[in-house]
Structure formats: structure tokens, C-alpha cells
Structure 1
Amino acid sequence: MDLGLKGKVAVVTGGSVGIGLAVAEGLAAEGADVVLAARGKERAEAEAARIAAAHGVRALGVAADVATLAGTDAVIAAAGEFGGADILINNAGTGSNETIMQAPDEKWQAYWDLHVMAAVRLSRGLVPQMRAKGGGVILNNASICAVQPLSYEPIYNVTKAALMMFSKNLATEVIGEGIRVNCVNPGLVLTPDWMKTAKQLTADTGGDWEGHLQGVAEEYADIKRFASPEEMAHFFVFLCSDKASYSVGSTYFVDGGMLKTV
């Protein structure tokens, strides 16, 4: 199936690992050129070179902390040098661990900048590039926790809920210019972050991190397993494509049955 992505320029934040890397690879497999933004310069450049060689596309690794204005400016500039963005995947983010009563203002602000302001600034900077090319797609990677929170990470829950609402508002604002905005709320996805945490939690009890994760899956997901980043990427790639042309301002749950409401 031709998804109409060949020659498009896609910007993916958090693009050197996990869901972001899988999405970048999935888009490249469909012929899109990709800009991978990540804090680590060496890894971003190495993954970009690997993707370019594997799929015969242009790929650029950009070292940028998108939680900062300087970081988002660097990504916007890189996309412009690549011919302008057609696709933006706001994926950069990470979980948290705190209580509302004890978390300092600085931690709230750091997550707000990473999960919300990065998407705001990158959208502001890349929408004009999309407009000049006749349209585009913006996908914001939020979380099931935006509507079904996990108790140990209130800051993550709140900022991801804000990202979901931002998506809805931006969608209304730019659809008249041919730019489609949607939000994806993943459930459990087997990323390096999950594996690292599981190894830490089981280090003193035998190290069965895989068993720990299986227990998490059985507790929360009806499908009884984690998704792979590649499974998640298939959904993102579809939403970027011409086949999703009527998908505007929606939030899609890809969670293996984890959501317990309608």
C-alpha cells in the first residue's frame, strides 16, 4: 500500500531511541526523509546514518534539548535546511515519580517545558514550513495517563493531559491550512526506560526484570503484554499518511485494552 510519504520531511523528537526511533524508521521505510532530534549528539547522528543507509533516504541527527528555546530553535532551523517539514512528531518525554505535596516548582516546570512547551514551540516554528508546502501533519505522543493516571507520577499525568488538550486546540487552528493534528495515547510500550526501571527495581530480588514487566502487563493491560515500539510506530505512520486524511483533532488510544472507560 502506497502511503504517500515518499519524499516527505519528518521531524521526530526523542528520535534516537524507543518509540521515536521506531517511528522515524517506519517513516523512512515508506520513503520519508527524517530529522532525528535528541539530546545525545553521537546517538542521534549514528541512528540517522544507519536509517539513511538502510532505507535510501536522507536522515539527519540533531543534538537538541527540546525542553529549551535554544533546542527547539535548532530543530526548526535543521528542518528548514532540509527543505521544510511536512511532518512533526512531538515524542520527546519521560515518566516522573513524586507526590504533589513534595514535588518542587522546578520539577513541575521542567516537565511542562518538555511535554508541553516543546510541542508549542516546535509547532509555532514548523507550521509556517508546512504552510509553505501546502499542508502537513503534527502528531503529539501523550499517554493513556492523560486520562487514566498512575498514582506515582502526577506531574507526568498532568502535563500529558495538557498536551492532549493542546493537540485539540491546534487542530482547530490549522486545519484550514491543510495541516492535520492528532494525539496518540499509548499504553504499555517496551522502551529502554521501562527496562531500565525494571532492572533497578529487581536488582535486590534476583534480577527478574522481565518477570516484573510481565506482572505489570498482566495487571494493567487486557492483552497481557507490552507493545513493541515498532507496533506503536505502525499506528503513527498510518496517521501521517494520506490514508488518514479525515483524521483531525482526535486522540487515539493504542493501549492493549488498558483504558477502562468509554
Structure 2
Amino acid sequence: MDMGLAGKVAVVTGGSVGIGLAVAEGLAAEGAHLVLAARNADRLKKEAERLAAAFKVRVFPVAGDVGTAEGCKALIGAVQDTFGGADILINNAGTGSNETIMEAPDEAWQSYWELHVMAAVRLARGLVPGMRARGGGVILHNASICAVQPLWYEPIYNVTKAALMMFSKTLSTEVVGDNIRVNCINPGLILTPDWVNTAKKLTSETGGHWEAYLQGVADEFAPIKRFGTPEELANFFVFLCSDKASYSVGSTYFVDGGMLKTL
């Protein structure tokens, strides 16, 4: 199926690993050019070169931290200088947390707020004018099922992802008149390297096996009884970027293997 993405320019934050990399690969497979942003410069360069060679598209890596105003400014400048603007923005950069409300300092809250919310705000401010000039675009926010069904051990993550979901909804009403479609995706259990690393760390201390630990998590939370792959999730991102999703505006979609317990 032709998704109508050939020649489009897509910006993907957190684009060197996990979900972001899978989304980037899915877009490149459809012929989209990429601007990939991530903090690990070496890994980012390696993956950018791999995608460019594999899919014969232009891939421009921008090493930096979009959790800072300076990092966002650098990314916006690189998009403008390299492609003259973007057609697609995937706000994916983020990470889990582990704390209690009573013990977490202000600095922790502020750090996650900058990464999960302000990065999306700043990149929208910087890239929407170019989308308008190009006749429209797509902005997708990778939030989390935790935005509406929180896990007890990561209150900061829960709160900031909920804020990102609301920002997505609010932005959608502001820019829909410019032919810019904004939506949010709330994944459930996706088997990223972070999950694998966490499982290995926990089981190394208890003598268990990391794969069995992850299966236990899936059995507990997901009726489908398994983790999703980044590629499965990426397929949904690519669809929402495409002309096939032209009536999808201002919505939040759950890709969670049945994990959500409410309607």
C-alpha cells in the first residue's frame, strides 16, 4: 500500500534506538527523508548511515538533548538548514522514572517536564511555521498508557505523559486549519532495550531469568500475554503519518495489547 510519504521530511526525536528508531525505519521504508535527534552521537551516526544506505533516502543526524531549549533550537535550525522545513514531527524522546511523590525533588519533576512536555511545545513552535509554508503536515506524540492508567512507581512519568496527551489535543485544535494533523499514541508494553536492561538488572540480583521476568509482566498486564515489538508500534505511527489517516485529528490511540482497563 502506498502511504504517500515518498519525499516527505520527517523529524524523529529519540530516533537512534527502540521505538524512535523503528518509526524512523518505517518512514524511511516508505521513502521519507529523515532528521534523527538523539543524545548518543555515535549510535545516532551509525543508525543514520544504515538507514540511508538501506532505503536510499537522506538521513541527517542531530546529536543533542531536546530536553533543553538549546537542544530544541539546534534541531529546528538543522531541519531548516538541511531541508527547508519538515512535513512530519514525531515527538518520541522520553524515558521512564522510578520515585515516590514524597521523595522526588523539584529537579526531577522539572527534568521530566522539560523532556516530555516542553520539548513538544518548543518543537511545535519551531516547526509548525514551516509546515504551514509547505501546505500542511503531521505531528505525532508518543505518550504512554500510563497517561491514563498510572503505574505506582513512576508518578512523574505518569503526570508528564498525561500533560503531553493534553498538549497534543490542544495543539490539534490550533493547527488543524493549517492542514496540520496532530494525534497522540499511548503504547502499552513495548519491548524496548530499556525494558530488557531493567529486566536483566532485576533478575541478576535475584537469580532469575530476564525473559521469564518479562513474560511475567506481560502475563500480569497485557491480555495478549506478550510485549509488542517496536516495529508493530511503528506500523501504527506510519499509518497516522500517511494520507490514509486524513480524517484522524486530535485523537489519542492506544496500542497496548488490551492493557487499558477502561472504555
Structure 2 equivalent of residue 120 of structure 1:
121
Partner of 2:4: 4
Q: What residue is the counterpart of 2:160 in the other structure?
A: 159
Q: Distance in 2 between matches of 1:189 and 1:35?
A: 23
Q: What's the RMSD between the two structures over aligned residues?
A: 0.6
% identical equivalent positions? 76
Q: Secondary structure at the match of 1:203?
A: helix
Could you tell me how far apart the structure 2 residues matched to 1:82 and 1:143 are?
31
The superposition leaves residues 69-99 of structure 1 with CA deviations (integer Å, 9 ceiling, x where unpaired) of 1100111011112321100000000000000
Paired residue secondary structure (1:117): helix
Cα distance in 1 for residues equivalent to 2:63 and 2:252: 29
Give TM-score scaled by structure 2 length: 0.99
One-letter amino acid matched to 1:254: V
Query: Structure 2: how far apart are the matches of 1:212 and 1:241?
Result: 37
Letter in 1 for 2:154: E
Alpha-carbon distance, 1:226 to partner: 0.3
Q: What amino acid sits opposite 1:75 in the alignment?
A: L
Q: Deviations over 1:33-83 (max 9, x none)?
A: 011100011111110110000000000111010000110011101111232
Q: Is residue 185 from structure 1 mapped to residue 186 from structure 2 by the alignment?
A: yes
Unaligned runs of 5+ in 2: none
Q: Distance in 2 between matches of 1:138 and 1:183?
A: 8
Task: Classify the secondary structure of the residue corresponding to 1:97.
Answer: coil
Structure 1 residue runs of 5 or longer lacking an equivalent are none
| 1:150-207 Cα deviation digits (max 9, x unpaired) | 0000000000000000000000000000000000000000000000100110002224
CA distance in 2, matches of 1:50, 1:233: 18
Q: Residues 108 and 155 of structure 1 are in contact (CA less than 8 Å); yes or no, is this contact kept in structure 2? A: yes
Aligned residues: 262
Write the distance in 1 (CA, Å) between the matches of 2:66 and 2:6. Answer: 26
Distance in 2 separating the partners of 1:140 and 1:4: 20
Q: 1:216: which partner in 2?
A: 217
Contact 1:9 1:82 (C-alpha < 8 Å) held by counterparts: no
